[in-house]
Amino acid sequence: MSQNAVVLDAPIPEPRARTAEALQAEILEKLTYSVGKDPIVARPHDWLKATILAVRDRIIDLWMESSRATWRTSEKRVYYLSLEFLIGRLMRDAMSNIGLMEPVKLALKNLNVDLGDLINLEPDAALGNGGLGRLAACFMDSMSTLKIPAYGYGIRYQNGMFRQEMSEGWQVELPEDWLAHGNPWEFERRESTYDIGFGGQVVPVSEPDGTTRLEWRPAEHFLAVAFDTPIVGWRGARVNTLRLWSAQPVDPIYLDKFNNGDHIGALEESSRAEAISRVLYPADSTPSGQELRLRQEYFFSSASLQDIVRRHMQQYGDLGSLPDKVAIQLNDTHPAISIAELMRILIDTHGMKFAQAWKLTRGTFGYTNHTLLPEALETWPVALLERLLPRQMQLIYAINAEVLAEARKVAGFNDQQIAAVSLIDEGGARRVRMGQLAFVGSHSVNGVSALHTELMKKTVFYDLHKLYPERINNKTNGVTPRRWLMECNPGLTRLITDRIGPEFQDNIDLLSQLDRHADDPNFQEQFAAVKRANKVRLTEIIKDRLNFAVSPDALFDVHVKRIHEYKRQLLNVIQAVAQYQSIKAHPETDWVPRVKVFAGKAAPSYWNAKLIIKLINDVAKVVNNDPSVRELLKVVFLPNYNVSLAEIVMPAADLSEQISTAGLEASGTGNMKFAINGAVTIGTLDGANIEMLDAVGKDNMIIFGLTAEEVTAKRARTEVPRSAIDNSPALREALEMIASGVFSPDDPNRYRDLVGGLYDHDWFMVARDFDAYAAAQAEVDRLWQNSRKWYSMAIRNTAHMGWFSSDRTIRQYAEDIWHVPVR
């Protein structure tokens, strides 16, 4: 502790100057002495690194002071465990949050360097896939902004989520090389290296006092090495840490094998280690793929928990205070093995009794559930866990015995209910239910929208909710307005500032003041001009990446998100086919010109999702090259959707497609990002759409389709969807065109099974919602033709998105779950 005292009492360096002149001098110094380049020959990537290093220095000063303050005050820390952190580019975010955007821009201008070019050159961190990872990134921003001491924990993926390219309309997965040239934002922490074991056996060990304890002796050992990235809050309020784990071998090379000529086998240990932190979501369609996923989840969970316990012991010296000083939030089910791992650390390493360890564990963990889809509520074969993590499996059995005894003796559960709450699914091959483990091992279990939370109680956690009726609560998701309005849409931010003042940047609830300007023709004209400029920017991206021109004066109808059948990109493209047919049949009609923009990645092993991408591209090829359609309908699929592309697409959208099958989208955050940028939502009563409808009013969103209750009822009746298709001429013709090969002349049967699934079961209610969706799209056309009405709606969407800030969400977590103060 004396060493810590010396560090904490060390003098705080004077803050670095933030003038353009000071930054210009420091950028040149970094370029020369850190990058090793003469300005005369420096390339753009050299200037980028030098600029990042100059900005980073000013963040480090705040970072160190934030850490010192937490040690001095012994504040409770929040630890956010997530398999994804979709943080995107960091330089613009950092500059904006500490007020350096204009000084750096001027400093670089004086050096004949354009800041915009450098921002576009920075690679996206390939640490996530979709909404789950982007939510984690927004939460890290908000925790720093609200001055909550926090760490984010995840994996430092070497290649992350794949880079998506198109080959004749098919998705092709290529490795993402975002770390190929290093990452100037991160710091390796060699002192924070932990041993991670797999396999082996559990053996009884006799203690001197005659007692026996169990000791896990793994057969494999790898190292988890920490890499830290500073996450700075708005106005530099606080800088928190994103700590990512890289898997490394204990011995990088077997020299004996190498010297004996087995040069490949000598690197076997390195290959096994590096595979753990190589790729996000490796395909789990094979047993080896499943094992690698479990290894990833345990690897980062164990490393994070060892780090948390080490830090707590270093400051407090006693684990009895763990729930008072530590809050660990599990972001979905991926880190659920943390429950068993913390129990192992408390019992095996620190000698606690089971009862005390279980009390501390439940007092420390909170669990956020993000989905009701069975495939996302992970289960692992018991045999796999017993082989790979034998001690943790023993503890899962012990936890299960505790829970089942409580269910039987305290709650009086019958055999059917006991089977439902058990951590072990005994139906068929025995599997461990990781969602159940996360639930029973946490003091709080939250959904991410009001509807989702209620459905959790009625469906996947019905019996657990009866056993622990006070545990489930709701925390509707949010997005950070810093990145998703102020940074990605500077034109709209300036317009809002001119109209209501700059105070909304510090209190996003003040956006509501825009409502009274929504019907002002002058403001509508200015708002439309900003929107059109953003659309021009997107047309340039489309032209650059696809060599294809679209008009910025068309209605931009945007559907960008992970490709999944429940998100119903298929419904959208079928309606596009029906629209295409109608335009050809009735050229005299006054059609609204539309550009349908799709983007998103399909999981490598998800065949139907990949087939939907191919269908979108096949439809685009036909529609976009048909002269009879003129400029009335264009279909675009933008490959490799990521945060940086989203920052261009969302401000340009006129219409936001949020059309998931009701009851399956937990919340959505894309819906919020589009709306705050002035897009009108067409959507189902699903996820956070419901709360958005309450906020913006039914006159400012376009809602259609079956409700969650109606979907459940239709599935229960197992009614055949064929009648819905037969009774809808437009749908029937569109499906016949797709199934017969009109869009796939090279393979007429390509989509026969995809379409056949709509006739046979239509699980995601594509056919049964089609007519309602088509009518809603016709309503969109009608509204668009009345520009005053349209921009009144768009402005009111922006005006009423303040509640959907991640700052509000984090305040609720802090007050209700973590019990930490918010400043």
Query: Residue 135's CB: how many other CB atoms inside 10 A?
Result: 28
CA distances from 116 to 29, 91, 92, 184, 486 (A): 21, 11, 9, 18, 16
In sequence order, what DSSP letters do the residues of 472-519 get, joined into one string?
EEE----B-HIIIIIIT-HHHHHHHHHHH-GGGGT-GGGGGGGGGGTT
Phi then psi dihedrals of residue 751, to 5 deg: -110, 10
Q: How far apart are CA 530 and CA 679, in angstroms?
A: 12
- Cβ–Cβ < 8 Å for 137, 85: yes
Alpha helices, H only, 630-704? 643-652, 670-676, 689-696
Q: DSSP states of 354-366 as a string?
A: HHHHHHHHHHHEE
Enzyme catalytic residues = 370, 561-562, 567, 669, 673
669 near 675, Cβ under 8 Å?
Answer: no
CA 531-783-625 angle, to 5 degrees, is: 70
Report in angstroms the alpha-carbon separations of 361 from 30, 234, 305, 411, 778.
46, 33, 11, 22, 54
Which of 781, 776, 791 has the alpha carbon at shortest distance from 532? 791
CA atoms lying within 13 Å on the CB side of residue 582:
17
SS3 440: helix
d(CA 52, CA 38) in angstroms, rounded, equals: 17
Distance CA 302, CA 319 (A): 17
Q: Which helix (H) or strand (E) holds 137?
A: helix 131-145
The SS3 of residue 711 is helix
Tell me the residue length of the chain: 823
Say which residues have a Cβ less than 8 Å from residue 34's Cβ, sequence separation at least 6. 49, 50, 53
Closest CA to 685 of 669, 661, 668: 661
Cα dihedral value 365, 366, 370, 373, nearest 10:
60
Do residues 442 and 365 make contact, with C-beta atoms less than 8 angstroms apart?
yes
What whole-number distance in Å separates Cα of residue 494 and Cα of residue 473? 38
Other Cβ atoms within 10 Å of 516 Cβ, number: 12
- For tokens 């609204």, the residue is 592
Cα–Cα dist 276/300, whole Å? 9
Q: In what order do the strands lie in the sheet with 424-425?
A: 379-381, 431-433, 424-425
Is residue 553 classed as helix, strand or coil in its secondary structure? coil
